Structure 1
Amino acid sequence: MLSSMHPHDGPLTRLRRGHEQSVLELLRKYGPLSRAELGTRSGLSRTTLYDIVAGLVTSRAVVVGTPYIEARKRGRPMEKLSLNPAAGEAVGIDFARRAVHVAAVNLAHEVVGSASEGHAADLSWPERVDIAVQLLDSLTTGARGESAAGGSGRAQAVHLGALRAIGVGVVGPTTDPGSESAHAQGIDGLPDLLRKRFGVPVLLDNNTRLAALAEAVWGAAADSSDVLYLRLSHGVGGGLVVGGALHRGRHGLSGEFGHITVDPAGERCECGGTGCLETLASLDAVLRRYRAAGGRADSPARFLAAATAADPTALEVLARVGGEVGGVLAAICHAVGPGVIVVGGELAQAGDALLEPVERALRQHLMPLARHHVDVRRATLGEAGSALGGIALVLHETPLLTHYPQPVSEENA
């Protein structure tokens, strides 16, 4: 978009181009900013900044608008500069264990729409990709979608012709697609499959870590630079934001909290361990514990309904699960010292029936000095969380990714 503005490539042109890229990068990271805010963050003089902004507006790379909240104040409304929403869009796809979730965001940081569809756990990758394509097709008409917080609503139309890239979340560690680990997971051909369907770069990462990123960028932990995220779903996993940066770990193995041992004499876990948190706190495990205690629910949804209805057996099971989860979280807190813990996944829909036991056990196991320095919150982005995290990965729009290793992409697929 900017190349047409520079017919010559001398030192002054290169300097101007550097200033333009600096301004565009700030708008990618922070969303709409006033000229004064841009000046403070960029360090450019007022004259230089206004000249750069004028060129970007003329080229339609940047648009000028007045936020509604500003327009209601007295005096001259404050103009905000943002990336042109029509300049491109980014799509995130979350391939969860038993569902596909998609979300789309334009370059002005506006969520265009999101949608989800469940499927059998053993569905093939081509069939899962077909579901993703159908969901995105549904967003192109604006006929189907969900808000970022998971509520239903009519989405804006997604213009796939403006697509820049796709950020994709998958279950489990994400290493090089040609590795034995990737082959065992069955994802070694996924990036290439998606690239052929959409014709754009594909960035692949662990879906729970992407959910942590999304909650730290747009969700429950947007005000903290040290975040511990735990997802309680059909699997149990997590993510860490440490010192304002998302932590991936060597070989992408960070955040495997579901495989921390809770009961050494417990059930065998699919990871090869025994008594892992996932064998006690995943949706299927909680449902088994409920039925073993006399409960009659035959699905996680009905168990959650029983808990909402204050069924004593369901509440007792959640109290035990919450105690086990809180103990694990306390141990992790002693290692990384987060300021905020975010609990997400379907089991978090139980609300206080789960979170209160979690917090009690957390306070009990934390050393006294740390007990009042950790805030436990429920995730706010719902099913769209991981897909939104994939979008953040694509846009590289946040300082949380400043030191993040390059994720798997089409170039090394």
Structure 2
Amino acid sequence: MTSITPNAQRLVRALVVDGPTHRADLARSLDVSRATVTNLTTRLIEDGWVEELQQEVGSLKNPIGAAAGLGVLASVMFLVDSYTVTLARFDGRVLKNLTLTGPVGRPPTERMTAAASLLRTLLVECGVGAGALRALHLAVDTQMDALTGDVFAARASSRWYGVNPVRFFEDEFGVPVHAQNSARLEGLAEYLWGVGSEASDLLYVDVSYGVTSGHVVDGVIRSGNRGGSGELGHTIYDWNGPVCTCGNSGCLMQYVSIPALLRDYATATGAEASWSRFCTQVAADDPDARRIAERAAVILGRVLVSVCHVIDPETVVLNGPVARQVPGFTDIVAATVRELALPLVARNLRVVGAELDDVHAATARAGIESLRRVEAVISSAIPD
């Protein structure tokens, strides 16, 4: 194996950062001649660091990508009732992705053990050993210290309390683990491949059994000092409101979430309703269901006005069952924000519904993309 030159290192870095690239584009980005790029890629292919993604056999027009010799990256993402594992090359090409579901309330150690077993299976199926794994992105659906992996004792974190997910996967695979909240990662997926793909500054809001958010700027999740930003559902709307699972009163999720909407509907009508039944009643213009849904949308819009005044996003993306399944919900939120926000913020702000359908696969893939933006991970791929 020949020693790798500085220009060859720059070429490998370009592939890791930008993904598979044609020789001509590499020459431009590296500011070298096409002949130099051709010579560099020939040597790097021989040494197993890069590979030609064949479209035409022997053609210099074929794109170049990262080879197996650089190693692989993994993404493990947990949602309430599922976990998704993705394996990819350093240039972002997904080798394999698989989602498995399990019962809600399954102990966290069992969930992590099952996900680790699935990752090992994917490594074998893709023909790479565990030693080829260079870094792992971990996304969990709870409040966790992104640096230490500590899960804090709170009712909102009860599904994960008592374990340290970061330490578990570090011990299992012996590689650096970079952690993020699942909802924040969903925001990155929508930024990269969804309705926010043309925005540079995006606020993602998921309205489901809780309310979570993620702020993405120039492809980077702004998750705060320890990963604690984005807990929009625990923003206080009314300090005299209903008691929340976090222990405070009047949190947004007590007004804008599936449990809150069903609670208010039962209180108004004296009858329990399933979520699908509630959505059907809204669509049928049932007065109680429509009033409750519209009130929730207005409340969310008011809270988003305050958030937008602080961070001034270009696009707000609404997702989750409430935004997707309640007729007119997103439109009312958007109208409320446009009506109440300051002109400088509201004038060019878009408030839209999410586009991505396969949220599991896209979000797990976003974990790979998040890793590829970490300098320590990029550097680990560059041969000496």
Question: TM-score interval w.r.t. the shorter chain?
Answer: 0.7 to 0.9
| 1:22 pairs with 2:10 | yes
Task: Give the aligned partner of residue 38 of structure 1.
Answer: 26
**CA apart distance, 1:113:** 2.2
Partners of 1:307 and 1:138 lie apart in 2 by: 45
Partners of 1:314 and 1:158 lie apart in 2 by: 50
Task: Give the aligned partner of residue 177 of structure 1.
Answer: 148
Task: Give the aligned partner of residue 144 of structure 1.
Answer: none
Q: 1:251 to 1:289 in 2, by over 3 A?
A: same
Partners of 1:391 and 1:262 lie apart in 2 by: 35
**CA apart distance, 1:261:** 1.8
Task: Give the aligned partner of residue 240 of structure 1.
Answer: 215
**CA apart distance, 1:102:** 0.7
Task: Give the aligned partner of residue 138 of structure 2.
Answer: 168
**CA apart distance, 1:366:** 1.6
| 1:387 pairs with 2:358 | no
Q: 1:254 aligns with which of 213, 229, 244?
A: 229
**CA apart distance, 1:189:** 2.8
Task: Give the aligned partner of residue 92 of structure 2.
Answer: 109
| 1:132 pairs with 2:103 | no
Partners of 1:100 and 1:289 lie apart in 2 by: 29
Which sections of structure 2, spanning at least 5 residues, go unmatched?
378-384
2:77 and 2:83 in contact (8 A); partners too: yes
TM-score, length basis structure 1: 0.75
**CA apart distance, 1:284:** 2.0
Q: 1:318 to 1:137 in 2, by over 3 A?
A: farther
Task: Report the number of matched residues.
Answer: 363
Q: Secondary structure at the match of 2:137?
A: strand
**CA apart distance, 1:320:** 2.0
Q: 2:73 aligns with which of 87, 90, 99?
A: 90
Partners of 1:160 and 1:264 lie apart in 2 by: 54
Percentage identity across aligned positions?
28
2:146 and 2:178 in contact (8 A); partners too: no
2:188 and 2:216 in contact (8 A); partners too: yes
Task: Give the aligned partner of residue 192 of structure 1.
Answer: 167
| 1:271 pairs with 2:246 | yes
Which sections of structure 1, spanning at least 5 residues, go unmatched?
7-12, 142-156, 405-413
2:48 and 2:69 in contact (8 A); partners too: no
Q: 1:242 to 1:178 in 2, by over 3 A?
A: closer
TM-score, length basis structure 2: 0.80
AA paired with 1:32? Answer: P
Q: What do residues 154-204 of structure 1 show as CA deviations (whole Å, max 9, x unaligned)? A: xxx55563543321112114244376x646652653223223444543222
**CA apart distance, 1:61:** 2.5
AA paired with 1:367? Answer: L
**CA apart distance, 1:65:** 3.0
Q: What do residues 296-331 of structure 1 show as CA deviations (whole Å, max 9, x unaligned)? A: 665445545655677665444332222111222222
Partners of 1:47 and 1:375 lie apart in 2 by: 46
Q: Secondary structure at the match of 1:377?
A: strand
| 1:64 pairs with 2:62 | no
Q: What do residues 28-82 of structure 1 show as CA deviations (whole Å, max 9, x unaligned)? A: 2322222222223223343332222222222332222366xxx9xxxx9942222
Task: Give the aligned partner of residue 103 of structure 2.
Answer: 119
1:234 and 1:284 in contact (8 A); partners too: yes
1:307 and 1:350 in contact (8 A); partners too: no
| Superposition RMSD in Å | 3.4
Q: 1:368 to 1:393 in 2, by over 3 A?
A: closer
Partners of 2:115 and 2:223 lie apart in 1 by: 25
Q: 1:21 to 1:140 in 2, by over 3 A?
A: closer
Q: State which drifts further: 304-313 or 188-197.
A: 304-313
Task: Give the aligned partner of residue 5 of structure 1.
Answer: 2
Q: 1:25 to 1:173 in 2, by over 3 A?
A: same
Q: Secondary structure at the match of 2:269?
A: coil
Q: 1:263 to 1:329 in 2, by over 3 A?
A: same
Partners of 1:353 and 1:163 lie apart in 2 by: 46
Task: Give the aligned partner of residue 382 of structure 2.
Answer: none
AA paired with 1:101? Answer: Y
